[in-house]
Structure 1
Amino acid sequence: MGVKRLLGMVVLAAWSAGSWAAPDAGQLGQSLFMRVAVDSNKGAAAGAPCSDLGADWASCLKGRLILENKGGQAVPAGGGWSLYLHSIRRILKLDTPDFAIRRITGDLYQITPTASFQGLAPGQTLELPLIDEYWILQESDVLPRPYVVVDGQAPAVLQHNSSDDASYLLPLTGDNWKNPAGELRPLMNMAQRYHSFSQRGAQLSAAQVANRVIPAVRRQQLGGGELLVRGLSLNLSGVSPAQREALEQRAAQLGLRGDGIGVSGGVVGARLPADIAVSGGYRLLIGQHGVKVEGFDAAGVFYGVQTLLGLLPQGGGQVRWMTAEDAPRYAHRGFMADVARNFKQPSTVRRLIDQMAAYKLNKLHLHLSDDEGWRLQIPGLPELTDVGARRCHDLTETQCLVPQLGSGPANQSGGGYFTRADYISLVSYAQARFIEVIPEFDMPAHARAAVVAMEARYRKLLAQGQPQAAAEYRLLDPQDQSNTLSVQFYDRHTYLNPCVPGSQRFVAKLVSEVASMHRDAGQPLATWHFGGDEAKNILLGPGFQDVSGGDPGKGKVRMAEQDQPWGRSSACQAMIAKGQLKSVADLPLNFAREASRIVANQGIATMAAWQDGVSGAASSADFATRNTMVTEWDTLYWGAAQAVNGYAAKGFKTVLALPDYLYFDFPYELNPREHGYYWASRDTDSYKVFSFAPDNLPQNAEVMPDRQGQPFAVSSSAAPAQYAGIQGQAWTEVMRTDQEFETMVYPRLLALAERAWHKAGWERPYTVGETYQLGVTHLVDKDALNRDWQQFAAVLGWREAPKLERAGIAYRLPLPAGLSGPNGLATATEWPGARLEYSYDGRSWQFYSPGQQVQARYWRGVSQDGRRGSRVETLGN
């Protein structure tokens, strides 16, 4: 018997005899360091029993969970402590006798040493074989802040894993960076980036785009002179004092004085040309003696001034005499910010509103609730924020939700909420900038924060002897024992139960209170977003089979033990018995109809939902509100073009939210060091967003491949549809900080604004019967697309990036691109005006002048003020 094994038995015996002190959680937190290694993302091919372990489509990875003792004291053998960790991939097996593993809920797992665990000496590393569902392709797949729990002690975060910036994934080896389902694109590095940027054409100088603005105007006639603008004096009719103040704040933010060139004009209505005589339409006249803005309405006046500010560089300067006539492409030009998964501060949302207004976006969709958090104070229901807005290590979930998404055991990240006053202030702020706030409270699925909070309320009031009050807003059927697994791995508590009376009362209370906030803010609530997505048990999906099945390409589960949501709810079965429902499968759509009646009774004109929230409806007339809006989130390569046309044909106001182009939580480029989810795309950069042709969805199949780089074909088989508009989405599962949120949103938000406001000349008209496919058809004028991009990119680089910086926006810095060849070093950036730095040792940095010949190995992008740097790239790798 080895000395180490003998020592472990002695330690274990001492622990069992009660003579060994309990492990110190704080010491373990200071000592332990956790990492993940991927040995093969093609687990089945590497011998892993992916199908037998129940992996979706039998897809799993083989890897290692690595624990290292970086402290000065040994981690004792035996038990007495647990490590809680987060995994966005289902852990199917931890193949070791030294630890037992169980999933708590969602992404939270507990691993506990067994009697065979022999301890961990200082400097020692223990590697635990691991099998996860699917694959790990990005650093952000491995979440921070695992923590140690010892009974009777405060939980302790592993300090070596506490940073949001560090990577806890070991570098992927071989072809593990590739999607196991297939990958045709190269890994993006400095050389590939240079090749990609070069294909987009020659970059332009600031002078060449002096008359271009983001978003581009519909038409423009240039005069022969220039007007020097260092300050603005606004004298506008038809705009409110708050709207004028918003323009003055924007001008001041850009370094313009409060006096100077006069800007006059106001609302002129239908006196404008017919094609711009719509809400938001305007005429901007810049001449020798000043500026005049004529708007169809107050929004048009506001946008006309924003165009003037867009033409000006930071601090002001010369602007050409011109007449510009302009109007928005879509009525709905939106952006969705998920503040539920990881909360974002009011100041960050205000900065977002400022930038949306500057680039003429007008709908702010706030995702205010989900499984992981409730983010708005509701009078009379304090538990929603007291419990639902906090995460801590309380497995009873009486005080808070259990940690998720790397939040830590004491709300180190992710927690928070808007008070009623905060929300009213934000809505009022948006109203002054012509932005409608659309609140979303997701239901009946993705409702765990509300369900758990109302269960805490129920227990509290029941203990106080108030059973009737306790049940008033209870969202569960206590008899329901349905066995389900949601998209993000929660049990039946993720679903608000539509069959219990508390659910209808809850929705009515919620809508009434939020509508009251909007009235107090001066923006009556016009659109209520119901959510409605993903009310399903994923284990009943097509990638699974019964344990008796023989398909090696599907995961095995005990199908007889799986239920549809609410499948065992006695309240729902009673409704079926009374003939009110055919089956529980009807419940999501039925509840959406019920919600629409509640919304309509509050005088709200429009109810919105993600498309699966109204799936199965015959038409928009199925709902009680005057309008029903569909937020469409199918991907193009999975049939979005046909789906959106179908909803539009049924009378739904259809808003495009296609993930492969419009999800800003996805990586900018194909590189494991990028952050974000990537189930629909691994490379959504600003160019891709800019290239989106929303009116002719099939056209996009000729310009971009699918998520694996594979070409796909889309035909325009249905009649052309009219869309309400488009919107970008920023889901925040792995955007834990406000800075990360801004890095993911900007500058893609500007490309979104370009397409939402302006229809480009290279966008082909929708024609029934056309088919598009990358590399096969050649209908799109890609040279025109690239010329337009270079104009946009030059405005972004020379004028707008400095403005973002001055506004305190932590936008993504362009990464370096470069080739070292026989003619020396050639470098490039995504847009002109971007700065690069180089280093010989990776520590000391010097500014790079374009054309300069250096043999440095390390490169990075840097902000104009030199305070922020991009990730470091290596030339030649």
Structure 2
Amino acid sequence: MKTFKTTLLTASIVSLLSLSQSGFAKQSTVDTMSSQLQVNYKVVDNHAANNGVDCSSLGADWGACNKATISLKNNGTEIRDKDWAIYFHDIRMILAVNNPQFKITQITGDLHKIEPTEKFISFPANSTIDIPIIGEYWQVSQSDIIPRWYVTSTDAEPKVIVNTDTEDLAAFVSPIGDQWKRTPEDHNILMTPVTRFDRNADIQTLDAQLLRGQILPTPTQLNVGKTDIVLGSQGVNLALIGLNSESMSVLTHQFKALNIPVTPNGYKINAKIDNTAFKDALSGAYQLSIDEKQATIIANDESGIFYAVESILSLIPANQKPVIATLNAQDAPRFAYRGIMADTGRNFKSKAVILRLLDQMAAYKLNKFHFHLSDDEGWRIEIPGLPELTDIGSQRCHDLTEQKCLLPQLGSGPDSDNMGSGFFTRQDYIDIVKYAKARFIEVIPEIDMPAHARAAIVSMEARYNRLMAEGKEQAANEFRLVDPTDTSNTTSVQFYNRQSYLNPCLDSSKRFVDKIIGEIAQMHIEAGQPISTWHFGGDEAKNIRLGAGYQDINAAEKVNWKGTIDQSIEDHPWAKSQACQTFISTGVVEDIEHLPSYFALEVSKMIKAHGINRMQAWQDGVKHAANAKAFAVDNVAVNFWDTLYWGGYDSASEWANKGYQVIISNPDYVYLDFPYEVSPYERGYYWGTRSNDERKIFSFAPNNLPQNAETSVDRDGNSFSVKGTMNWPGSYGLSAQLWSEIIRTDAQMEYMAYPRLIAVAERAWHQADWETPYQKDREFKLGSTEFVNQTQLLNDWIRFANLMGQRELTKLDLAGIDYRLPIPGAKFDGKQLVANIIYPGLTIEYSVDNGTVWTQYVKPVTLENNHSQILVRSKSLDGKRTSRVEAVK
């Protein structure tokens, strides 16, 4: 018996040691691979369909695919182990792998993994293995390639491959080079110093005296006097009768930030409210008179006082003698809704950067903060009673069961120590709403549904599993968001399965939504700003495989410019849910595709029951509702996000004529997650346009969409013709959008948002003289029609550009904003270097020794023609930051 026990104990110890050694071996493999392997990603051919690849048979949407090569260089000893996987993020579906040693599998969303096949031999020592792949669409920007590739193995801790653990994409991405065109017919102009110089050629530097008394955003009427007032050591005296103490504190802080004290003996700024002076004006209207003795403000409400003082602050230069011009101004906003949407779902953003955003919104008279708090990739607000939403739904890590976190997405890697993870506590959110309220900014929370709901669904499934394990079946089902009978085969826009769509046919889904609305509404009450508008979301509740870019493999007639797939196995979202089939059979909804709009109507009842009388949605989320009157609330606004050149000019009119308040949110003009310019080095998605620079946004006419065809080009750089064929009752507002799929950090967010947001504010507040009134059946086309006064537009832009370069960017420096510094334009003819910049006033520098020494450019300079290259960059006025460096060729 003793011998048996001894033998058994020995065997157990050996077994444990074996397991331990095995686990150690696997960790050793992970550690070795993550440190020794070096990734390189190279785009080879963005026009693969034109060069012999049958993209259609591979199932590529619209028959478009690209070739790329993943290179894995082993900088150490040979790696023979086969028990490993490399996980990586790719926003393009991978259609083929052309190295038999490896296979690539999509896990969910953008998460893929590379695994060895049975033909894998090894990663030889000090050598490189190439994995040629074919992916969907194209990759024309360096930011299409996502960082933080990581290695896993059985029972081992995942480790990020070192050279991909960076936001410097050049560390593992080869230059895009001549693959920057989306199609061979792409007529966009690649921005280089030379082409940028030509684009900036009509911008003149204005004397500072010509900018005296200029206010941004521009007032309705402005008469500038001849006298200047120096705000001396005693500063200003804010006698703002009718303004609340919180907003008074905001203004006091702004003056102090410009080194102007607020004292009883300072230059007096008087204000009072008298709404009889403002017939039919929107909230925020004011009259401002500045003379040698005092400034006088008459406003139609509190926000009018606030905005009038912001106009005075706009006049004061930063880091200079505090001088303002005498003037008289009459002013009122053109739109009631002047906003920005910030997405914190895809990648989290800190409370600090949100507060800085609210500061700048206030300075430029933007008044609506559309707070996107949830998406497939993350849930970002604490909800009492539903801890899983933040314990799991706000965190991303390598947990294949997704019982403790969501799987990694969008460059977050295997760990939750970056901006892929995070959430606003209940107190954080209350603080943000209070902060916004003091600045006359309405916070509009968005919990996106019924699509883009994966973070909530995974969280509630984890809650379900926990409570079922505790034997609490009724509680487990209380907020469950999926129908267990639903086996629908669907693919969302971001390549998630049916777990991306909250089921609109379940009472538990309605209970969940009601719970969320109620909890967030209570936070707003505690913050002193009861919710006025609830944003439903509603966008993209569809299966992309049933879209127009695909054709069925059994179709009688097929074309090579569509992806060929077996559409017989594809379902609309919820098509196989028994709960939803009951809805159809009993006539609750006419068709499965009407479910998102049905759910929007149901949610409007909940919103109304919580005392909220206004609803907002992305327009496609309510497309099957009869009109705005079908909803329980009194007003329904839609963020209109069709592109202009794909018919947006008439579809906007259609929504307005159905009674919706249309908020112009066109991707091709006011999406701030799109690139500034056509360059592979500019971050951003580009499905709607290749560039949205400040000048294009400034030139946007949001209340006459057809006009923009005379001042801009389509996605491929071509002119296009637009003729509005419907009556247009007018826009309710203008909103910029800042999605965060590839905006992973606060600094990246500010780079993308500023200074473009100031151009958005200008168009949201001020209607320019060069904007033409909408006229039904009037046709516009760049190079063919001449309805826009181009001289007025150019002069207005030159004024704005000089104000930015000579004044506003310094204020962003002072506020600690990481805005984008523009790259100069430059030419060198072999003898003389000439340079210019979009914002006159910024410092241009050049180097002839590869960046060792930089010299300030003031005027054309003669150089020897024996330099290997000439580099140019711009520098902020505070001297602390520089732009991207480019070579003059």
TM, length-normalised to structure 1:
0.95
1:339 CA displacement: 0.7
Q: What is the correspondence of 1:272-291 to structure 2 with a 5 Å cutoff?
A: 272-274=277-279, 277-291=281-295
Partner in structure 1 of residue 763 of structure 2: 755
Counterpart code for 2:539: D
From the superposition, tell whether residues 205 and 498 of structure 1 become closer, same or farther in structure 2 (CA, over 3 Å): same
Q: Please list every run of 5 or more consecutive structure 2 residues that lacks an aligned counterpart in the other structure.
A: 1-20, 864-868
User: For 2:23 and 2:464, how far apart are their aligned partners in 1?
Assistant: 43
CA contact (8 A) 1:227 1:288 kept: yes
CA deviation digits over 1:470-528, x for unaligned, max 9? 11000000111100000000000000001111100001000000100000000010000
Equivalent positions of 1:72-83 (< 5 A) are 72-74=76-78, 76-83=79-86
Compare 530-539 and 858-867 and name the one that shifted more: 858-867
Structure 1 residue 854: deviation in Å? 5.8
Report the equivalent of 2:114.
Answer: 111
Question: Aligned pair 1:872/2:885, yes or no?
Answer: yes
- C-alpha displacement at 1:329, in angstroms? 0.6
Question: 1:272 & 1:532 partners in 2: Cα distance?
Answer: 41
Q: Is the 8 A contact 1:266 1:298 kept in 2?
A: no
Out of 698, 704, 715, the position equivalent to 1:696 is 704
- Which secondary structure does the structure 2 equivalent of 1:92 belong to? strand
- Give the distance between the partners of 2:837 and 2:126, measured in 1 at CA: 43
Residues 347-368 of structure 1: per-residue CA shift (max 9 Å, x gap): 0000000000000000000110
What is the SS of the residue equivalent to 1:493? helix
> How far off is 1:267 after superposition?
3.2
Instruction: Read off the aligned partner of 1:36 and give its amino acid letter.
Output: Y
Instruction: Between 60-69 and 101-110, report the one with greater CA deviation.
Output: 60-69
Tell me the distance in 2 between the aligned counterparts of 1:181 and 1:468: 59
Q: Provide the secondary structure at the position in 2 that maps to 1:426.
A: helix
Aligned to 2:726: 718
Aligned match of 1:63 in 47, 53, 68? Answer: 68
Letter in 1 for 2:43: V
In the other structure, the counterpart of 1:404 is: 409
Separation in structure 1 between the aligned mates of residue 853 and residue 356 of structure 2, nearest angstrom = 31
Q: Quick check: 1:65–1:128 contact (8 Å CA) kept in 2?
A: yes
> Any gaps of 5 or more consecutive residues in structure 1?
1-16
Residue 356 (structure 1) aligns with: 361
- The offset of 1:580, in angstroms, is 1.7
Alignment-derived partner of residue 225 in structure 2:
223
Q: Does 1:738 align with 2:746?
A: yes
Q: Is contact 2:64–2:137 with CA below 8 Å preserved after alignment? A: yes
Cα 1:332/1:124, change in 2 over 3 Å:
same
Counterparts of 1:598-613 in structure 2 under 5 Å? Answer: 598-613=606-621
Contact 2:220 2:332 in 1 (8 A): yes
Determine helix, strand or coil for the equivalent of 1:520. Answer: helix
Aligned to 1:676: 684
Secondary structure in structure 1 of the residue aligned to 2:589: coil
**3-state secondary structure, aligned to 1:804:** helix
Matched, 1:481 2:492: no
CA contact (8 A) 1:715 1:772 kept: yes
Deviation at 1:285, TM superposition (A): 1.2
User: In structure 2, what is the equivalent of residue 321 of structure 1?
Assistant: 326
Q: CA deviation at 1:78?
A: 4.3
Match of 2:215 in 1: 213
Tell me, yes or no, if the aligned pair for 2:485 and 2:578 is still in contact at 8 Å. yes
Aligned mates of 1:100, 1:264 — CA distance in 2? 70
SS across alignment from 1:212: coil
1:80-479 equivalent positions in 2, closer than 5 A: 80-167=83-170, 168-174=172-178, 176-180=179-183, 182-198=185-201, 200-230=202-232, 231-259=235-263, 261-274=266-279, 277-315=281-319, 316-411=321-416, 412-479=418-485
Q: Is the 8 A contact 2:270 2:294 kept in 1?
A: no
CA contact (8 A) 2:239 2:270 kept: yes
User: What is the Cα deviation at residue 181 of structure 1?
Assistant: 5.9
Cα shift readout 1:585-612 (whole Å, capped 9, x = no counterpart): 1211110100000001101011100000
The question of whether the paired residues in 1 share the 8 Å contact of 2:286 and 2:300 is answered with yes
1:393-792 superposed matches below 5 A: 393-411=398-416, 412-549=418-555, 550-792=558-800
Letter paired with 1:701: A
Corresponding residue for 1:11? Answer: none
More displaced stretch, 668-677 vs 841-850:
841-850
Distance in 2 between residues matched to 1:108 and 1:125, nearest whole Å: 24
Per-residue deviation, 1:337: 0.4
User: What is the alpha-carbon distance in structure 2 between the residues aligned to residue 265 and residue 683 of structure 1?
Assistant: 44
**Residue equivalent to 1:10:** none
Distance (whole Å) between structure 2 residues aligned to residue 278 and residue 37 of structure 1: 53
Aligned mates of 2:430, 2:177 — CA distance in 1: 51
User: In the superposition, relative to structure 1, how do residues 565 and 491 fare at CA in structure 2: closer, same or farther (>3 Å)?
Assistant: same
> Aligned to 1:291, what secondary structure does the other structure show?
strand
- Counterpart of 2:204 in structure 1: which amino acid? A
| Alpha-carbon distance in 2 for matches of 1:458, 1:841 | 64
C-alpha displacement of 1:632? 0.3
Residue 15 (structure 2) aligns with: none
Cα contact 2:467–2:473 (8 A) shared by 1:
yes
CA distance in 1, matches of 2:260, 2:58: 63
Contact 1:224–1:321 under 8 Å retained in 2: yes
Rounded Cα–Cα distance in structure 1 between residues aligned with 2:145 and 2:64: 18
Query: In 2, distance between residues paired with 1:203 and 1:833?
Result: 8
1:28 shift after superposition: 1.4
**Alpha-carbon distance between aligned partners in 2 of 1:133 and 1:586, rounded to the nearest angstrom:** 29
Distance 1:19 1:593 in 2: 54
1:325/1:19 Cα in 2 relative to 1: closer, same or farther (>3 Å)? closer
Tell me the CA shift for residue 19 of structure 1. 13
Q: What is aligned with 1:815?
A: 823
SS of the residue 1:797 aligns to: helix
Q: Distance in 2 between matches of 1:845 and 1:398?
A: 54
**What is the one-letter code of the residue matched to 2:253?**
Q
Of the structure 1 ranges 373-382 and 572-581, higher mean CA displacement relative to structure 2 is found in: 572-581
Q: How far apart are the structure 2 equivalents of 1:660 and 1:464?
A: 51
Which residue in 1 is equivalent to 2:58? 53
1:117-142: CA deviations, max 9, x gaps?
Answer: 22223431111110000000000000
Q: In 2 relative to 1, CA 64–823 (structure 1 residues): closer, same or farther, beyond 3 Å? A: closer
CA distance in 2 between counterparts of 1:816 and 1:145 reads 32
Cα gap change, 1:456 to 1:871, in 2 (>3 Å): same
Question: What displacement does 1:26 show?
Answer: 2.0
Query: Cα distance, 1:255 vs. partner?
Result: 2.7
Q: Which amino acid aligns with 1:287?
A: D
SS of 1:612's partner is helix
Alignment identity in percent? 44
Between stretches 371-380 and 862-871, larger displacement belongs to 862-871
- In structure 2, the residue corresponding to 1:257 is in which secondary structure? coil
Return the alpha-carbon distance in structure 2 between the equivalents of residues 839 and 144 of structure 1. 31
Deviations 1:806-853, CA, capped at 9 Å, x for gaps: 100000001011111266211001111112222233342424131152
Query: Is structure 2 residue 40 aligned with structure 1 residue 35?
Result: yes
Secondary structure, counterpart of 1:388 in structure 2: coil
Aligned residue for 1:44, secondary structure, equals helix
